[in-house]
Amino acid sequence: KTELCSNFVLGRCNFGERCKFGHDLSEYVRSKPADLPGTCPWTAVQATCPYGITCRYALSHGVDDEAHKLLAATPAQQPPQPPSLEPQPAAEGAAAPAAGAEGTPAVAAAAAATEAAEAPAGSGIPAQLPLPLPLPTSIEKEVNSLSREVQTQLWKNRYDFSRADGILRSMGLRISFKHEPKPLSGGRPGGDGKGDGEQKDGPAASAATAAAAPEAAVAAAQPGQEPLQQVAEPAVAAAGAPDAMQTDGAVQTSTGAEATAPDGVPSVAAAGEAPEEAPAAKRQRLDSDAAAVATLVAEQDAPAAAATAAPATASAAAAAAQEARSQHVEVPLRPVERRVPDFRGKTYLAPLTTVGNLPFRRICKSLGVDVTCGEMALATNLLQGQASEWALLKRHPSEDFFGVQICGGYPDAVSRCCQLLGEHLQADFVDINMGCPIDLVCDKSAGSALLRQPRRIEQIVRSASAALGERTALTFKTRKGYNDGEDVAHTFLHRAREWGAAAVTLHGRTRQQRYSKLADWGYIRSCASSCAAAGLQLIGNGDVFSFTDWNAHMQQAAEAAADGEGGGAAGGLAALMVGRGALIKPWIFTEIKEQRHWDISAGERLDLYRSFCAAGLEHWGSDGRGVETTRRFLLEWLSFSCRYVPVGLLEVLPQQMNHRPPAYRGRSDLETLLASEEPQDWVRISEMLLGPPPAPISFAPKHKSSSYAAAPGAASELDMA
């Protein structure tokens, strides 16, 4: 219990002694590390810091409450001092931070530190560490957070997926989710159990639920009627998870799954509800138009029926509406009716696992990237309402052309997930990862494993695009084949537009190949010609590391399309996706825009890391946990960026992705330190920006990127590009 409970500080912790966080304010203040230099980012924008005294900039808040007074009166615990970064002192002519930096404004201190870092000679390492981070001019709210209401519906298996299920039934596809959504007190699936009105989708869900609850209360309070019996669900609430949820390749069923009748309707006795009036006879099958009209009428009449009719009549009306909705067949949109985002000529940052987080995407946006995409999220985890998985979908307002990436191996899970995202997400497109090579994903028949079943790829794309709707476009990313010598992507990519895809990304490697060889751009060009003839945007991916690579691939693809039968001058690749190249040098997007090789200095690179840390504290928090989370992701990025070789030291331009240079000494000690492949040196760099960690750490990079290329089948770099 060394970490202080934030709710206790705010006076609202309900767990008391059972709380797993500490409630001893004095003990926490005595053990709290010294504040970082600079100003709290929330204080800088005239806002209240949400972390209180747990913020690592707490003394800059200017708050005069008891907790801050106690913190100011208690000597801060000094962390163990790290060893000197470099024994060599700074050059005589190098600018150093002014004496008495405690009274220097944060902006002036940051400018002095940057000037010291950019010293033309000597070490280039600032004398005063850690450096203050740049302050924001405003803190914009991130979007795509999971609301508590939707999360509860997913946990309790009450979210209405009838639209996605209707699409799957119309295609004759299997739905492996064993339980229908649980009925409310009025018999209608969906919602949060507070009303008997119809479940609304999208942003109107909260308003619809709030409006339905008073109507149900009025109906229950009418004279001569029995009050509606509430659904008993303590087991579900205690478990905090849905009764049954599909995973890729398996179905997990909890012990609290309710009994169901032979026709799939939840048992009244098992649910603990009042008896419902069953339909007199099985309704006749209706065509799609008639079913849509019946659904619309039932939805319009549901509020009035709930307020005036008897509970049994309302239950029968809700059951009829649900039956009509289940029989409704969604008419698929034609390709010309779908929203098609324009990727042509745009720079595209690949969805990168772990390191492609929101703060890193903000850095790339400042360096000129056009299209960004969130980290890969598993469809089944999103359907289970896992907050950690939904956090991967967050979007910063600066990301003006943004998509999210999901991964799943079966049409039912992916289509349900796409319906959910289409109703609650602000994104320009949803990308399906069909090229992830790691065993954890492929063993669940997802990722690259789908290349062995092209028919399933078609089923997933058709059902997902229909469930997503016309507001959000669908794309997918794949590789050229599963095993070496078994290229299959060219057999189906040109038909993806008919299935409902707006664009396709092709990585020029097989799953077996991983990153042991260079990407096959000849194969990508041949697929680009056929896709261009079919009117589909194809995005190439693999080993793009400079603006010359960009120009060569785009020009060669255009020439190949012009020489083909149907490509013409407008054929070729729509754009290129940059993955590992952006991790090693994110300024590659500036180089592409400006058509030049940027000989970036060590001080400028250090400023990028400072900006990343500042964005990380806004995203993950400025308290102790947020600082250490920012440090961990900074170390992951440093494990890639250490592979960069400065332009001024290269004998031949440009640097290639597969070139492994020998150890070298940079033009300054800071540049040499940034090129180190030793994890302890990365930790020392993080200490320059975030101060020493609370305890000594031993960092091992998740993707082992410093190994360049591993043996075939090894899990090196995972799905980085």
Residues noted as catalytic: 436
- State whether residue 374 is helix, strand or coil: strand
The C-alpha atoms of residue 380 and residue 426 are separated, in whole angstroms, by 20
Indicate the SS3 state at residue 235: helix
Give kind and range of the element (H or E) at residue 503: strand 503-510
Burial code (b: 16+ CB inside 10 Å, e: under 16) for 301-331 equals: ebbebbbebebeebbbbbbbbbbbbbbbbbe
- Neighbouring C-alpha atoms within 13 Å toward the C-beta of 560: 20
Burial state string for 674-690 with b = 16 or more CB within 10 A and e = fewer than 16 = bbbeebebbbbbbbbbb
Integer Cα distance of 351 and 259 in angstroms = 42
- Between 311-327 and 162-170, two packed helices, what is the crossing angle to 10 degrees? 40
In the chain, what are the helix, strand and coil shares in percent, each to the nearest 5? 45, 10, 50
- Please report, as a single letter, which amino acid is at residue 10: L
Question: From start to end of 664-712, where are the E strands?
Answer: none
- Provide the 10 A C-beta neighbour count for residue 539: 25
Could you tell me the end-to-end alpha-carbon distance of the chain, in angstroms, rounded to an integer?
Answer: 41
- Distances 418 to 242, 475, 476 between C-alpha atoms, Å: 18, 12, 13
Cβ 642 vs Cβ 675: under 8 Å: yes
In which residue are the tokens 């997913």 written? 154
d(CA 563, CA 615): 47
Place of tokens 């398996």: 250
Q: Report the DSSP beta bridge partners of residue 376.
A: 405
Nearest to 351 by CA among 369, 324, 333: 369
Residue with tokens 């299959």: 488
Helix spans in 564-623 (H): 580-584, 588-594, 602-620
Whole-number CA gyration radius for the chain: 29
CB atoms under 10 Å from CB of 49, counted, come to 20
C-alpha of 81 from chain center: 36
List the alpha helices (DSSP H) in 309-351: 311-327
What's phi and psi for 417, nearest 5 deg?
Answer: -65, -40
CB 72 within 8 A of CB 65: no
The 10 Å Cβ neighbour count of residue 262 is 5
| Packing angle, helices 454-468 and 411-424, rounded to 10 | 30
